[in-house]
Amino acid sequence: MDNANPISSCVLLKNVNKSFGSKQVLYDISLQISEGDILGLLGPSGSGKSTIIKLINGVDQSNSGEVYVLGEKMPKLAVMNQIGYMAQSDALYGDLTAAENIVFFSSMYKLSRSKQKQRMNEVMELVDLSAHLKKQVKHYSGGMKRRLSLAIALMHEPPILILDEPTVGIDPILKRAIWEELKKLNQQGTTLIVTTHVMDEVENCSTLGMIREGRLIAFGTPEQLKNATASNTIEEAFLYYGGTAK
């Protein structure tokens, strides 16, 4: 990883450490993401997954180490505008309609009015919310809010899409539908970075990074990690790498 080239990588972390005050939350994280990958970051709550993606999308900085996105050292505003980010918690305004939320959040990307209208129709159809554009978000269900957050993250057609626990609290049928849409986006060239603690979701990922207590304990394709540990499931492999299974 020391010889990894930031220019040829979509995302590159090199020996990244992060602390909040006296508490260290990331330890020497190095990973490389190629263009067109679906990277899954798997780990329990508090393992450091969300901190890693905040460093990647430029809303936080490491204490040491380097983070590159699209060949540029982060944080850099021009690159941040090329990233779609869906946070773990829905940052939506309940008294506004879905359309008003989309207009508000997409205004930072300086889309023309015609382009904004076009993209609004496209992304709301993508997440199956076209019939609810004029509804106040406070009347949305939890699943609808997650889908609206995804639509907003897609408005400016970012080459990189970061999703922090995108399916938390969503029923299995809707979860499957969201993953089908994410795979379609990936097939169109979007690089995806997804955090999750749900073991069965990572089978959708082309590359997997296992995170535990702020450390990257394993990295590879799901099949590579299962084969390397003679495991039948990702859960078994995770327990093996975590040092709690023999």
Banded pLDDT at 108 (limits 50, 70, 90): confident
Token couple for 112: 């023309």
Residue with tokens 């540029």: 72
Residues in the chain: 246
**pTM of the prediction?**
0.87
In the chain, domain spans: 36-61+77-241
- Alpha helices in 2-156, H assignment, sequence order: 49-56, 77-80, 98-106, 113-126, 142-154
Question: Is pLDDT of 5 > 90?
Answer: no
Architecture in CATH of 36-61+77-241:
3-Layer(aba) Sandwich (3.40)
Q: If DSSP codes are grouped into helix, strand and coil, which group holds residue 69?
A: strand
Strands (E), the chain: 11-20, 23-33, 38-42, 64-69, 72-73, 83-86, 160-164, 191-196, 207-212, 215-220
- Write the pLDDT tens digit of every residue in 201-225: 888 999 999 999 999 999 999 999 9
Alpha-carbon distance values, 101 to 68, 77, 120, 233 (Å): 30, 22, 11, 40
Q: Which residues neighbour 70 within 8 Å (Cβ) at sequence distance 6 or greater?
A: 10, 79, 82, 159, 160
